[in-house]
């Protein structure tokens, strides 16, 4: 039976800028497998993802133009993952490759074009519990583009994500909430202007499968008075067991 989880909607006042620094996470479940890094439950084999523009007609939200297609492939030991990005005709145009440390944690993720040229690279840092606490995104020339820091609850669930520009000024903040079973039930993202004022807030609505993985997400944009559906993402997930 499918489960439908709707995000709560919260209005936020204007906020000032803060320096971007890593939050200290508390104890949680040991991370390391590829599916845990991808925030998936169960022994996942493949994830086929399609993103669409959202169109509202007579109170109903429908899929519009296709925005992107991706495929994730995991081996049976959950130790390797490859992400492939497809064009609108279904042909692969980009490939994403991972590097891991001896604990199985993803420490580097790079995007390559079909001719083997690296488009960008991300590096990751972890705490003693294996929680990812920092992510740095670099351009193809090696310059830093953005930095993310993460905060976790005592169950190892990521509850906050803050991104900053290379100068350390806050760019966005994401808050995440879960139910008692560890299923994500609310996600709220806020983007800021350079002076620290609130620009936009996004919230998401999820549909889950029996494993607790979401198979459909509707993303909404909120400008302070109007909530508008802007994107629909669908995932087809297969499992080894």
What pLDDT is stored for residue 28 in this prediction?
Answer: 30
What pLDDT is stored for residue 61 in this prediction?
Answer: 94
Q: Can you list the residues of the chain whose pLDDT is less than 50?
A: 1-19, 21-37
Residue spans per domain, the chain:
3-239
How does pLDDT run across 129-185, given as a tens digit for each residue? 889 999 999 999 999 999 999 999 988 899 999 999 999 998 899 998 888 878 777
The predicted model scores a pTM of 0.61
3-239 under CATH 2.40.160, yes or no:
yes
What pLDDT is stored for residue 235 in this prediction?
Answer: 95
Concatenated DSSP letters of 213-229: -EEEEEEEEE-SS-EEE
What pLDDT is stored for residue 188 in this prediction?
Answer: 84
Q: Which of 123-129's residues contact partners 24+ apart within 8 Å by CB, and which partners?
A: 125/22, 126/31, 127/24, 127/25, 129/25, 129/26, 129/27, 129/28, 129/29, 129/30, 129/31, 129/156
């Amino acid at each position: 039976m499918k489960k439908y989880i709707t995000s709560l909607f919260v209005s936020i006042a204007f906020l000032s800028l803060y320096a971007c620094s890593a939050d200290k996470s508390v104890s949680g479940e040991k991370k390391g497998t590829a599916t845990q890094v991808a925030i998936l439950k169960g022994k996942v084999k493949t994830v086929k993802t399609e993103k669409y523009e959202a169109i509202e007609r007579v109170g109903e939200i429908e899929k519009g133009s296709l925005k992107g297609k991706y495929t994730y492939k995991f081996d049976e030991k959950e130790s390797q993952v490859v992400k492939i990005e497809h064009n609108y005709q279904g042909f692969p145009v980009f490939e994403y490759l991972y590097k891991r440390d001896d604990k199985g944690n993803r420490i580097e993720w790079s995007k390559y074009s079909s001719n083997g040229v690296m488009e960008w690279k991300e590096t990751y840092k972890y705490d003693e519990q294996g929680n990812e606490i920092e992510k740095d995104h670099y351009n193809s020339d090696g310059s830093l583009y953005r930095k993310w820091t993460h905060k976790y609850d005592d169950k190892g669930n990521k509850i906050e994500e803050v991104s900053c520009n290379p100068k350390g000024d806050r760019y966005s903040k994401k808050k995440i909430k879960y139910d008692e079973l560890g299923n994500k039930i609310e996600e709220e993202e806020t983007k800021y202007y350079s002076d620290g004022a609130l620009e936009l807030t996004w919230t998401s609505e999820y549909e889950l499968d029996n494993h607790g993985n979401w198979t459909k997400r509707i993303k909404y944009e909120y400008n302070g008075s109007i909530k508008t559906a802007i994107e629909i993402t669908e995932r087809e997930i297969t499992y080894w067991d």
